[in-house]
Structure 1
């Protein structure tokens, strides 16, 4: 059992949480793999679903393995992480929008 030192106190992390996080990661990865491999739906909804599954995978990693909610002091790191995710998705979505609709512009 691993321990994290926070402000002079020890917090124990249950191995059950690590196992649960690992199993969730495996399930999310398997679902994504099967969906992408079988082409069981149209491309548009498939991309949206894979993006949602990827975002869930990020949250599983952050909360179960990186312990994002733990730590000393104000939760600035969580706010900054959320801001970084918003910027990342904004840039990615704007790039897709430009690639999809930029071809219709006449010069």
Structure 2
């Protein structure tokens, strides 16, 4: 077996050293960028929040692609569908929680 490409008994690819290094470098760059945006105070609060959130989403994609090796191939279809369902469930729970908290706060502050 070659050191540059790991394969399981089922024949699934687990990436190469180059893809791990690329993912690591991208993750470090995104982390440093988010840190720099906050430390330098280059933007106002809401813009900083949006930029850091966008960088976080990009970092999630980097981790999913380079470390979890999810892609759109037919072998990964069920893993990808399960991941998308999980993300949608978390988004619904977080959005619902934020809505309930905001709604409760608005009704309690109006008294």
TM-score band, normalised by the shorter chain? 0.7 to 0.9
What's 2:59 paired with? 57
CA RMSD of aligned residues (A): 3.0
> C-alpha offsets along residues 56-96 of structure 1, whole Å, 9 cap, x if unaligned?
1111111110122375663432332332353255247537x
1:4-60 superposed Cα distances (whole Å, 9 cap, x missing partner): 426x32535221111110010000000100110111111111101111111111111
- Structure 2 match to 1:79: 84
SS at match of 2:13: strand
Moved over 6 A (4+): none
Q: Measure the CA separation in 2 of the matches of 1:103 and 1:37.
A: 36
Long gaps (5+) in structure 1: none
Hey, which of these two has a bigger chunk of strand by percent? 1
> Is 1:26 aligned with 2:31?
no
Aligned partner of 2:50 in structure 1 is 48
Normalised by the length of structure 2, the TM-score is 0.70
Aligned 8 A contact 1:25 1:57 in 2: yes
For 2:76 and 2:42, the matched residues in 1 are separated by 46
Higher relative contact order (CA 8 A, sep 6+): 1
How many residues align structurally? Answer: 104
